[in-house]
Amino acid sequence: MPCQAHLVEVCDALAEFEQTNTGIVVVCMSGAKNLQAYLGMRSWPVPVFGDPERKAYSAMGLQRTNWGKFFLPSVLWRYLRLMWSGWKVKKPFEGEDLLQLGGDFLIDQNRILRWSASSPDPTERPSIETLLNAIRAMGDSAGEARSQSAG
């Protein structure tokens, strides 16, 4: 699912993440002006940081897709399903890259990457259950995890 729809899903499950003592941090590709406008349209219960140069994206190995993959029937189908459920397609802010893929990461308090899921296409993101299972699989360190979503 597109990153904003995924963020809604993550925020809707925030209580479940809090039960595992896991914090959520969001990194987006917006610059200060666009981020301020975005946050003015909707308040999120988690910190949202802008990364207009996409340094975090690069550090996490997140790739860009291409228009051919963007228009695969499976990707279009997932977009259509979201639209039928009420999700509205919005024009991206100026300077944002529609082809930039996102990801979800679990980083512990020592800043060690413990788990990652890089999106193979614009609509593929891990489920909440997958994220929670990854946190639980970290065992005793689960309470030290930080979840970070780039998207």
Q: What is the pLDDT of residue 144?
A: 45
Q: What is the pLDDT of residue 142?
A: 42
Neighbours of 119 (CB within 10 A): 23
| pTM metric for this prediction | 0.78
Q: What is the pLDDT of residue 1?
A: 44
* CB burial string 26-41: b at 16+ within 10 A, e below: bbbbbbeebbeebeee
User: Where do the domains of the chain lie, and which CATH numbers do they carry?
Assistant: 3-150 (3.40.30)
What residues have CB less than 8 Å from 117, skipping those under 6 apart?
103, 104, 105, 125, 126, 130
Token pair for residue 114? 């413990």
The arrangement of strands across the sheet holding 103-107 comes to 48-50, 23-28, 146-150, 103-107, 113-118
Q: What is the pLDDT of residue 2?
A: 62
The pLDDT averaged over each successive group of 10 residues in the chain (151 residues) is: 79 92 90 89 91 93 88 80 78 81 88 90 90 84 50 61
CA distance 105 to 93: 24
Q: What is the pLDDT of residue 76?
A: 80
